[in-house]
Amino acid sequence: MEELISGIPASCGTFSGKVRIVRSLEEGMKLQEGEILVTKCTDPGWMDLLFKAGAVATASGGMLSHPAIICRELSKPAIVGLTEKVFELLNDGMEVLVDGNKGTIFKI
């Protein structure tokens, strides 16, 4: 597997699946059950999407950010603080592995 990008490991576990880039809450309907939600940041309005996602990766945030806390509560892998570069490296439908233990996303 090829390492694509690393950030802050925010919630333990691993998950492999398809990437879904969601740049705004209005685009949230694109996310299918079990896809990997990749976004800039989240807030409480994104709860339905966090429940639906298999894993979460955000460009911003830290260990106490909204997605980090919620993903730990939901036992879903999450990586935060990936920077805007994540949108250059990942595309919708790309198969990746999110390693929430190491804070790294790998191309499958």
CB half-sphere exposure, 53, CA atoms < 13 A: 31
Q: How far is Cα 102 from Cα 34, in angstroms, rounded to an integer? A: 21
CB atoms within 10 A of CB 80: 27
Strand order in 8-11's β-sheet? Answer: 2-6, 104-107, 95-99, 14-21, 36-39, 55-58, 78-80, 8-11
53 is catalytic: no
Q: How far is Cα 11 from Cα 78, in angstroms, rounded to an integer? A: 5
Residue among 66, 71, 78, 86 flagged as catalytic:
66
Active site residue ranges? 66
